[in-house]
Amino acid sequence: MASPGSRTKTTEVWLLPEDERDVGRRIGEVLPRAGWLCSHPGPKGLHQVHLHPSLGEALDCGGCQAFLLLPEGGRGPEGVQVAEGAVAGPALTHSAVLQLLCSRRFRDDEGEAIEAGRLAVRWYEPEVGPERHRLLTDQTRLAWQALRSATRPAPVETPDGRRVSGLRIGSAAYDLVAGTGMALTRGGSQRLRLVAGRIAGGGRGASAAG
């Protein structure tokens, strides 16, 4: 259960690297002053954190996830190194961090599968105040509109035929899965099957913020 005052939004999504770049490009179109932090494995402080102008650059630098500072143009944490082209407003602190966690393609005893990543954000309304809450809500809405424009609904079925909705998939990931029958997962061992013939454009992701 979410903490009182917590505003969260999460959508699980299957993306190949080209889909990730497309999502990042579209978010950049609606939030052009936003910067992405790279994320390196290992203990805090082991690696220099950079503020990049694009999601693609942040993923190339850090690996499997990147973080968008909200409101757009907010400065990063203390000690962050600002990469060329990134915008960091000296007077604007960030109040929320939007996570793009990459999908993971893997193989085990049951064959090859793709594990869902996610787009997720959280902030606490009592901490940011009503004006900043409205700004974060508006910018979160724009980010999810960009996600929806770059992906499509991904209705899937469990092995017993139960439908699972509220998930999305990128175009390249869809072509791969629909063409090969590759399984999908949501981070657990259960394999999901894409109901490819029922996919249509548009729709909304899961859980609304605000």
| Of the candidates 64, 39, 38, 42, the residue with the CA atom closest to the CA atom of residue 51 | 38
Taking the C-alpha atoms of residue 153 and residue 33, their distance in angstroms, rounded to an integer, is: 28
**How far apart are the two ends of the chain, measured CA to CA in Å?**
16
- Identify the pLDDT of residue 105: 95
Longest distance between any two alpha carbons in the chain, whole Å: 54
Q: pLDDT 10s per residue in the chain (210 long)?
A: 456 678 899 999 999 999 999 999 999 999 998 889 998 776 665 567 888 989 999 999 988 999 998 998 877 777 777 777 777 665 567 889 999 999 999 999 999 999 999 999 999 999 999 999 999 999 999 999 999 999 999 999 999 999 998 999 999 999 999 999 999 999 888 999 998 664 444 433 333 343
- Identify the pLDDT of residue 45: 57
Taking the C-alpha atoms of residue 184 and residue 73, their distance in angstroms, rounded to an integer, is: 35
Sign of CA dihedral 43, 57, 36, 150: negative
Q: Which residue has the tokens 């936003």?
A: 34
Taking the C-alpha atoms of residue 15 and residue 165, their distance in angstroms, rounded to an integer, is: 17
Q: Which is it for strands 156-157 and 163-164: parallel, antiparallel or unpaired?
A: antiparallel
Which 8-state DSSP code applies to residue 3? Answer: P
8 Å CB contact between 149 and 29: no
The pTM assigned to this predicted structure is 0.85
What residue spans of the chain are helical by DSSP H?
Answer: 17-30, 55-62, 125-150, 171-180
Q: Which residue has the tokens 């974060």?
A: 136
Q: What is the chain's mean pLDDT, rounded?
A: 86
**Angstrom distances, CA of residue 171 to CA of 13, 16, 76, 154, 163:** 11, 9, 32, 11, 21
pLDDT digits (tens, 9 = 90+) for 20-71: 999 999 999 999 988 899 987 766 655 678 889 899 999 999 889 999 989 9
Q: Which residue has the tokens 């090859």?
A: 112
Question: SS3 of 206, please?
Answer: coil
Structure tokens given for 135: 């700004």
